[in-house]
Amino acid sequence: MAWCSEESRFLEDLKRKRVKVRLSDTQISGVIQRVTHRRSVLLEDVSEVKSGRKFPGVKIIFGHEILKVEFSGSANQDSLVDEEHRSEDSFRKKTAADEDEDSVSYVLIDELHEKFGPAVMHIQQQKVVAIGAEVFGQIAQERLCWLQVATKRVVYLFDLLLLGAQAFKNGLSMILENPHILKVVHDGRCVSRCLRAEFRVHLTNVFDTQVADLMLFYRETGGFLPDRVSSLQELLRLHLKLPVSDLSPLRSKELRRKECPEVWYVRPAPPALMNIMAASVSHLLPLRLVLLDALMSDFTILVDAYMSSCHHQSLQTEQGEGALPAVVEELLAVRQERMDWAARRYSLTDAGLLRRSSFTHTEVTLKKPDKPV
């Protein structure tokens, strides 16, 4: 049932009010962040009244759990709340100034009716999707706040603080654990860890662009490893040749995270913040294709040489059926050439890793060998 305007204004006035909520087994205190259409209440700065124990992040109290609500309306308490959220208000002002950034097509999913079902159905029809996540907290206390799922057409932003575990029971688990849907991520360690710890969901069939870049570096340098992994911004510039202007949402994301660590708890999320989240996964699908082509280039060239070698082979030459073709043995020479090239272009750490920041363009580029690489 739609809310009337007076009721909407009343609920809007409740925001930022400190309340005590009595549940069946305890009483908690917190500041109202939002009241949903189903009368669920989002509280922040939450603590247990009796013990004083603090709860990190935002706590969702469903309407059927609430026995009694008491308001604490003193001026001192209100000023304290204002002080606690000064950094968040600053973030809201800054994101409002970012509204002119190029937007990405996204759909916000914060309730389990209307848009949730069609979104899950559309994702389940895909063979490849991109996955991203926004997490707050240190390892062992991490909280998964947002999950982004991108198809070729749209990015879905799942608000996990509001949806909770029901989102996974109603379809997200089937997607993330489906071995027939390829999930493209950039550094999937954190999202995989959080999904397993919080929701017992095991992310399967994953293509990690950060891992693919490591493999490509290893191949191109003849077997060296870099001293660090690459950020998503670096990969988009290197492999997709994106201009700096297209990377501004990713830079904004890091800036916001540093200025306001609780940024992923902001509700309702500002449009600029949602645009940043959508942009962080919108290039993963084309990035995967480019990385795949690069990783497969040696194989493709070797197959061509392998097939063409039979045309130049003398009919008089007899070779055992299981003998290794000479053209394959030349890969050893190519590997050595690449190692020599890498040694000239990079400096080494004490651990024998190549310092990515030391790469130089001043020397003559290594001539591509005529043989398969």
CATH number at residue 49: 2.30.30.100
60 and 107: one domain? no
Domain that holds residue 280: 103-288
Has residue 371 been placed in a domain?
no
251 and 109: one domain? yes
For the ranges 145-154, 257-266, 331-340, the lowest mean pLDDT is seen at 257-266
User: Hey, which of 54-68, 77-91, 149-163, 251-265 has the most confident mean pLDDT?
Assistant: 149-163
Q: Please tell me the predicted confidence (pLDDT) of residue 316.
A: 45
161 and 224: one domain? yes
272 and 199: one domain? yes
Q: Please tell me the predicted confidence (pLDDT) of residue 319.
A: 58
Has residue 124 been placed in a domain?
yes
What's the number of CA atoms in the CB half-sphere (13 Å) around residue 364?
3
Has residue 366 been placed in a domain?
no
37 and 153: one domain? no
Q: Please tell me the predicted confidence (pLDDT) of residue 7.
A: 52
pLDDT, tens digit (0-9, with 9 covering 90-100), for 60-96: 777 777 888 887 654 344 443 343 344 445 444 544 4
Q: Higher confidence at residue 302 or residue 281?
A: 281
Closest CA to 203 of 285, 126, 147, 163: 147
Q: Please tell me the predicted confidence (pLDDT) of residue 318.
A: 53
108 and 232: one domain? yes
Q: Where are the alpha helices (DSSP H) in 58-177?
A: 75-84, 86-96, 116-124, 160-163, 166-167, 173-176
**Range 105-117 average pLDDT:** 91
- Per-chain mean pLDDT for the chain: 81
For the ranges 27-41, 131-145, 175-189, the lowest mean pLDDT is seen at 27-41
146 and 248: one domain? yes
Q: Please tell me the predicted confidence (pLDDT) of residue 372.
A: 40
Assign 37 a pLDDT band (cuts: 50, 70, 90): low
- Strand 155-159 relative to strand 143-150: parallel, antiparallel, unpaired? antiparallel
User: Hey, which of 73-82, 97-106, 188-197 has the most confident mean pLDDT?
Assistant: 188-197
| Residues sharing a CB contact under 8 Å with residue 237, sequence separation 6 or more, in sequence order | 244, 247
161 and 227: one domain? yes
Which residue, 267, 288, 309, sits at the end of a domain? 288
Q: Please tell me the predicted confidence (pLDDT) of residue 12.
A: 64
Q: Model-level pTM?
A: 0.70
Q: Please tell me the predicted confidence (pLDDT) of residue 312.
A: 58
Q: Is the per-residue pLDDT at 222 higher than 80?
A: yes
pLDDT, tens digit (0-9, with 9 covering 90-100), for 322-356: 777 777 777 888 889 999 999 999 999 999 999 99
119 and 174: one domain? yes
Alpha carbon of residue 172 to chain centroid:
16
Q: Is the per-residue pLDDT at 141 higher than 60?
A: yes
Task: For residue 198, give both structure tokens.
Answer: 């919080």
Q: How many domains are there within the chain?
A: 2
- 239 neighbors 291 (Cβ within 8 angstroms): yes
**Range 204-218 average pLDDT:** 96
For residue 249, give the CATH number of its domain: 3.30.420.10
40 and 124: one domain? no
Which residue, 264, 288, 312, sits at the end of a domain? 288
- pLDDT > 70 fraction of the chain, expressed in percent and rounded: 78
